Every structure is written in C-alpha cells, then in structure tokens.
Amino acid sequence: MVGYLNDAVKKPHGLAKFLRSLSFQMSIFLCGAMYCTMFSNLNLSVTILAMVNTTFTGCRYVPGMVLSAISWGRILAPTLGPLVDRSDARLILPISLVVAAFASAAIPVSTKVGPGLVMFLRMLIGVADATINPTTSKLLSQQFTPAARINALSWTTAGRQLGTLTVYPLAAYISDNHGEESDNNGWPMVFYICAAVSMCFVLLWIGFTMCRRKKMDKKIST
C-alpha cells in the first residue's frame, strides 16, 4: 500500500485517484474494524482496576474469571470460521461489531446483577472477536489481488496495534477523571464510549458498502 501511495503521488491526480480507490478505502475500513474490536476486547483490562475497589469487592478470584471469560468466546473460532465462509462477510462484520458494542454497553448495568452476567457478556465479545477474524480474512481474499493482499493485511493488523496504543491510556484517563470526586466511578463511561465508537463505525460501514456494492460484487465474482 505504501508503494502504491508513492506511485500515486508522482502522477498527476494520482493521489486523488488512489484515495478514491476501493482497495485503499477497504484497507482503512478493515483497520477501523480491528480498532473497534480491540476497544471492546481491552476496555475491561483497565476498568477492572477501578471495579475491584467499587464493584467486585471481597472476591479475589472474580476479576480473573471476568477477564478470562472473553477467551471462552474466542475458542469457538474453529466453529465460526466455516459459518463465515458460507455467509456474506460484508454483513457478518457489522453484525459482529454490533454484538460486541451492545455487550460492552451492558457491562456497567450487569455488574449490579452479578459477575456471572458480566462473564456472559464478555464471552459474547469473544464470540464477536472470533467471528471478525475470519470475516476480515474473507474480505481480504475477495476484495484484494494477491499482490495487494499483504499490504492490506498490514493495514488490518495495524488497527489492532492502534487500538492497543490508544485504548489503555484513554480508558485509564476516563476512569480516573469522570467519576464523582475522582473516586474511580467513571469506569462505566469507558464501555459507553466503546459502544458508541463501534456503532458509528457500523453506520459508516453500511454507507460504504451501499455506495461501493457494485464494485465489491464485481471483485467477488472475478
């Protein structure tokens, strides 16, 4: 992708054409999908520090069980992969992100019910993550030529790293500065922001796929 960008800059109107290309736009969207996925995956890793003092008190083993619950969802990846292969990846991607968004938004309320419900919601996020991975792989194979696939995969992977770099400090800041008198009660806002970011991305994805449907269908058929 970087090579394509260098070539585009050298040609008249090449950069504008490159930015409008389906390959570039798809790479950016896949990067965004991975960012939203990491936001859902990692938000609890920071907020659990505040939740231990305000929510999960008296049970030392509960925080570890809640954090690890996401892996019970991810372990279903071998089962979900064949299902994704038979489905439209353009539809599965937003559905998975919506599931993760609603599960994240429900976590603050679920803590009042008990850790069992929080674990279930974390498992749903893990299922969404296990679905998104084969979905992005399918989109990469359908929408990119073999020569461009490696660069597109690099952009997709960068979304996960970008999520890791930004979610930790952002979640820590929100947890510390949005509670009452800085009492670490601001952690629920982290989950609401995560859900809002994912839903905004889903709306953008729907608009993108509707506008680009003909070109995307053409690439799938070739």
**At 59, which CATH number?**
1.20.1250.20
Sign, CA torsion 111/115/121/126: positive
Residue 23 in any domain: the answer is no
Whole-angstrom Cα distance, residue 49 to residue 182? 14
Whole-angstrom Cα distance, residue 138 to residue 141? 5
What is the total count of domains within the chain?
1
Whole-angstrom Cα distance, residue 219 to residue 172? 42
Residue 167 in any domain: the answer is yes
Give whichever of 168-172, 183-187, 212-216 has the largest mean pLDDT: 168-172
Residue 21 in any domain: the answer is no
Residue 152 in any domain: the answer is yes
194-212: b (≥16 Cβ within 10 Å) or e: bbebbbebbeebeebbeeb
Residues 6+ away with beta carbon under 8 Å from 166? none
pLDDT digits (tens, 9 = 90+) for 6-62: 554 455 455 566 667 788 889 999 999 999 999 999 998 888 877 776 666 556 777
Residue 190 in any domain: the answer is yes
pLDDT digits (tens, 9 = 90+) for 106-131: 999 998 888 889 999 999 999 999 99
Residue 202 in any domain: the answer is yes
pLDDT at 4 over 60: no
